[in-house]
Structure 1
Amino acid sequence: MSAADWYAQHGKMPRFYVPASLAAGSDVVLPEGPARHITRVLRMGEGTPLVLFDGQGIEAGVRLVEVGRKQTVAHVESIWTGSGESPLAVHLGQAISKGDRMDYAIQKAVELGVAAITPLYTERGDVRLKGDREDKKLAHWQAVAASACEQSGRAVVPPVHSPITLQAWLEERHEPLRLMLHLATGNAFNRQDRPASVALLIGPEGGLSETDIAAAQTADFTPLTLGPRVLRTETAPVVALSLLQHHFGDL
């Protein structure tokens, strides 16, 4: 059964990320998070259909066969390949921001089809994470990305890499198109070819420093302006990714 057939037969239903092997005819014990949401929030009972995805591109139409305090089990009735991925692979280098601004940037970037995200330490950035605090933040950000996939229909959960310095991230870049948000003239979309991958650099509140800009230019990054108004650090990736998907992706 295809995804269209499953939804046509059962209607709209919740989707849950379950990092497990999904095979037709098998049973899957749901992790604590999805199981708790199903039983305590949605109050679903045995026989209820829903959709699972493994984060690697596979989706499954399943039916609950056991709903209990100790465990919740779903039986896989059908599997298919997810179709929510963009043909444009964008690696977002996002300067770390305070509070829920970073969560917002990650959530919206995932909804807009980003392929990977790396939180960055920049010269003007005032967030520095170490040890357990960094590990907890990274796990939280990856959970934000997975939740955004559940909501947006994506079956591939893009990785949120461990935070690194801007210089280290720049040294890893090999994308044919590399852009940095900067209040300078330039139209990166006025080109004949359609790049398969893009590196997108977003600076912190206050923007990239002159040192950061020089380092990015040395790494073949082109300045990209989004108009005369200054955008917040969590708004900039939404606008830039929307434009990239429009010109080179699937928007």
Structure 2
Amino acid sequence: MPRIFCETALQSGASLGLPPAAARHVQVLRMQPGDALTLFDGRGGEYTATVERMGRSDVQVLVGDHDAVEREAAREVHLALGMPANERMDWLVEKATELGAASIQPLLMQHSVLRLAGERALKKQAHWQSIAIAACEQCGRNRVPQIHAVATLDAWLSSPNAAESKFVLSPAAASTLDARTGAGSVCVLSGPEGGLAPAEEEAAVAKSFLRAGLGPRILRAETAPLAALALTTLAR
């Protein structure tokens, strides 16, 4: 049964016109009146639904029962990362969503190849958010991770961070991430191609980030945050 994200708040028994993105999804699937689907609005759980009417540009559905099922990771993990270039960031957002990331913060760093600002940065943020939504539809998550606006590392480090444990990935770290992860929410900071500059790593440490490694090999900019995410969501 197709799973579709609906940004409009859902309620059992409601007859609802789907918002444009959800309506287009139903139309692309060539669904017809009477067909069943699953809807989720990011507020928890999911709903059964039935297509009532297919218009040329609109879709009406009848919202059915709510199922409070959740498929979130046991630990809330937030990724902050130097954006890898080209399609690698798209791939990273998709896989991080599947692995259970609670949020993703794209960062501009000294060694960043991809440099975004202004309208281009806003368009990329919206694009990555749509990738996260599609990944949730595919993998069964009912809560969509937030893709934050692109920020500089300095600006982000100066903003509040409520994570209970904070780590900066560093090849020179004495301990690996799985051995350093405490209980509660986690924030992991990872560099772009070329890694964090020494001054950037020191700035993170000055903000109470602990250095942590991922083993003896040097991982790519799009691989390291995913490895860290898998370790921290699975750690007990």
TM category, shorter: over 0.9
Counterpart in the other structure of 2:144: 157
Q: Which residue of 1 aligns with 2:167?
A: 179
Work out the CA distance in 1 between the residues paired with 2:13 and 2:89.
40
**1:67 counterpart = 2:54:** yes
Match of 1:196 in 2: 184
Letter in 1 for 2:43: Q
Q: Who is 1:86 aligned against?
A: 73
How far has the Cα of 1:29 moved from its partner? 1.2
Report the counterpart of residue 113 of structure 2 in structure 1. 126
- Describe the SS at the equivalent of 2:205: helix
Superposed CA offset, 1:210-249 (max 9, x none): 011111111121222112221111111111111111114x
Corresponding residue for residue 132 of structure 2: 145
Matches within 5 A, 1:1-251: 13-40=1-28, 42-171=29-158, 172-184=160-172, 185-190=174-179, 194-248=182-236
Deviations 1:12-69 (A, max 9, x none): x1100111121111012123333223223x2211111110000222411001111121
**CA distance in 1 between partners of 2:153 and 2:49 (Å):** 43
What SS is found at the alignment partner of 1:69? Answer: coil
> Is the 8 Å Cα contact of residues 120 and 166 (structure 1) preserved in structure 2?
yes
Report the CA distance between 1:150 and its aligned residue. 0.7
For 1:86-127, what per-residue CA distance to the aligned partner results, in whole angstroms no more than 9, with x for missing partners? 231111101122111111111111111111111111111132
What fraction of aligned residue pairs are identical, expressed as a percent? 40
For residue 4 of structure 1, what is the aligned residue in structure 2?
none
1:194 is displaced (CA, Å) by 4.5
Cα distance in 2 for residues equivalent to 1:70 and 1:127: 36
TM-score normalised by the chain length of structure 1: 0.88
The 2-side partners of 1:96 and 1:153 are apart by 26
Unaligned runs of 5+ in 2: none
In 2, distance between residues paired with 1:237 and 1:190?
16
Whichever residue aligns with residue 179 of structure 2, its letter is N
**Corresponding letter in the other structure for 1:218:** A
Q: In structure 1, what is the Cα distance between the partners aligned to 2:87 and 2:47?
A: 32
Letter in 1 for 2:170: H
Write the distance in 1 (CA, Å) between the matches of 2:222 and 2:132.
15
